[in-house]
């Protein structure tokens, strides 16, 4: 462990909104694409750190459905980065027994990118049941995800319940995130995991994503461990449950 002492429960599932690559580059008078490259490097380091710390699931917001409205040149650069760097980085991490899942409507990506992502996912299918997952949200939008789920239910004539809807989301076999971290200084979810985030702890960092260090991640987790999650109950109820090992 680094300088942050973590006392208390670790989050089982961390989700990160990796924001600020463009501004990081702009500040250094460099093109946005350079910021995205540094972002992928940092992403790799943070994933290593997360699994090393004992986090079971990590979900990264890499590209939103709304990001698809960005200039074609930036998107082409991002697709090239997926081809040349991103997928290899994922493979390296997943070799340690981590199941890779892509969350989102990948049909919006170029065909060859879809194929390499599909292959990378398939290679890790053998790790199902290990209880360790890396999820990459690509061409992801939470509203679109919920609408898609509702339509699947409607086609089957199924009346939705909370569990039924969860089971139709991209995250069906992944526990809800306990901690959502957003870098880049903005304090919003930008259409990320809106349904799954119902009881997630939110942590906002002013640092641009390429500057978000392993120590910063530890600090976010330490802050999570200091918080009280009540899930609607009173402190007294939570304390009794903690003492007796009951409740959620």
Active site residues: 19, 67
184 binds ligand IPE (CB under 6 A): yes
Instruction: Give the pair of three-digit tokens for residue 169.
Output: 């989301």
Q: What angle do CA 181, 183, 185 make, to 5 degrees?
A: 120
Give the residue, chosen from 23, 85, 148, 233, that forms a contact with ligand IPE under the rule CB under 6 A. Answer: 23
Q: Taking the chain, what is the end-to-end CA distance rounded to the nearest angstrom?
A: 28
Give the residue, chosen from 52, 76, 122, 186, that forms a contact with ligand IPE under the rule CB under 6 A. Answer: 186
Three-state DSSP class for residue 123: helix
Backbone torsions φ then ψ of 133, nearest 5 degrees: -140, 140
DSSP assignment of 156-174 equals TTPPP-HHHHHTTSTTTTS
62 binds, among ligand IPE, Mg ion, none (CB under 5 to 8 A by kind): ligand IPE
| In the complex, minimum distance from the CB of residue 7 to ligand IPE, in angstroms, rounded to a whole number | 30
Give the residue, chosen from 19, 201, 216, 218, that forms a contact with ligand IPE under the rule CB under 6 A. Answer: 19
Q: Determine how β-strand 57-64 pairs with β-strand 13-17.
A: parallel
| In the complex, minimum distance from the CB of residue 84 to ligand IPE, in angstroms, rounded to a whole number | 16
Residue ranges in 13-42 that form contacts with Mg ion under rule CB under 5 A: 19
Give the residue, chosen from 14, 17, 87, 139, that forms a contact with ligand IPE under the rule CB under 6 A. Answer: 17
Residue ranges in 63-82 that form contacts with ligand IPE under rule CB under 6 A: 63-64, 66-67, 78
DSSP 68: G
Reference 81, options 144, 145, 138; nearest CA is 138
Give the residue, chosen from 21, 124, 171, 205, that forms a contact with ligand IPE under the rule CB under 6 A. Answer: 21
Binding mask 46-65 for ligand IPE (x = CB under 6 A): ---------------xxxx-
Give the residue, chosen from 22, 133, 141, 210, that forms a contact with ligand IPE under the rule CB under 6 A. Answer: 22
Instruction: Give the pair of three-digit tokens for residue 120.
Output: 């990378």
134 binds, among ligand IPE, Mg ion, none (CB under 5 to 8 A by kind): none
- Identify whether the C-beta of residue 12 lies closer than 8 Å to the C-beta of residue 56: yes
Please give the Cα distance from 248 to 238 (Å, whole number).
9
| In the complex, minimum distance from the CB of residue 110 to ligand IPE, in angstroms, rounded to a whole number | 16
- 70 vs 233 by CB, closer to ligand IPE: 70
Please give the Cα distance from 122 to 118 (Å, whole number).
6
Q: Which helix (H) or strand (E) holds 224?
A: helix 214-226
- Identify whether the C-beta of residue 180 lies closer than 8 Å to the C-beta of residue 17: yes
| In the complex, minimum distance from the CB of residue 162 to Mg ion, in angstroms, rounded to a whole number | 31
Binding site for Mg ion (CB under 5 A): 19
Binding site for ligand IPE (CB under 6 A): 17-23, 61-64, 66-67, 78, 184, 186, 188, 190
């Amino acid at each position: 462990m680094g300088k942050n002492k973590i006392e208390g429960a670790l989050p089982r599932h961390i989700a990160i909104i990796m924001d600020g690559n463009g501004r990081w580059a702009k500040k250094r008078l460099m093109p946005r694409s350079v910021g995205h490259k540094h972002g992928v490097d940092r992403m790799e380091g943070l994933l290593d750190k997360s699994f090393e710390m004992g986090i079971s699931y990590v979900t990264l917001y890499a590209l939103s459905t709304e990001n698809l409205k960005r200039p074609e040149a930036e998107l082409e650069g991002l697709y090239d980065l997926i081809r040349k760097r991103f997928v290899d980085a994922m493979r390296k991490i997943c070799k340690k027994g981590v199941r890779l899942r892509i969350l989102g409507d990948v049909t919006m990506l170029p065909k060859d990118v879809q194929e390499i992502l599909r292959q990378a996912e398939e290679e890790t299918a053998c790790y199902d049941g290990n209880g360790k997952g890396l999820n990459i949200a690509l061409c992801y939008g939470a509203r679109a995800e919920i609408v898609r789920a509702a339509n699947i239910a409607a086609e089957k004539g199924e009346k939705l319940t909370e569990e039924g809807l969860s089971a139709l989301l991209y995250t069906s076999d992944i526990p809800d995130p306990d901690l959502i971290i957003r870098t880049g200084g903005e304090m919003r979810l930008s259409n990320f995991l809106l349904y799954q985030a119902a009881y997630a702890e939110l942590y906002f960092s002013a640092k641009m994503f390429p500057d978000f260090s392993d120590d910063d991640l530890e600090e976010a987790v330490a802050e999570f461990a200091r918080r009280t999650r009540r899930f609607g109950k009173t402190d007294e109820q939570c304390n009794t449950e903690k003492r007796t090992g009951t409740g959620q």
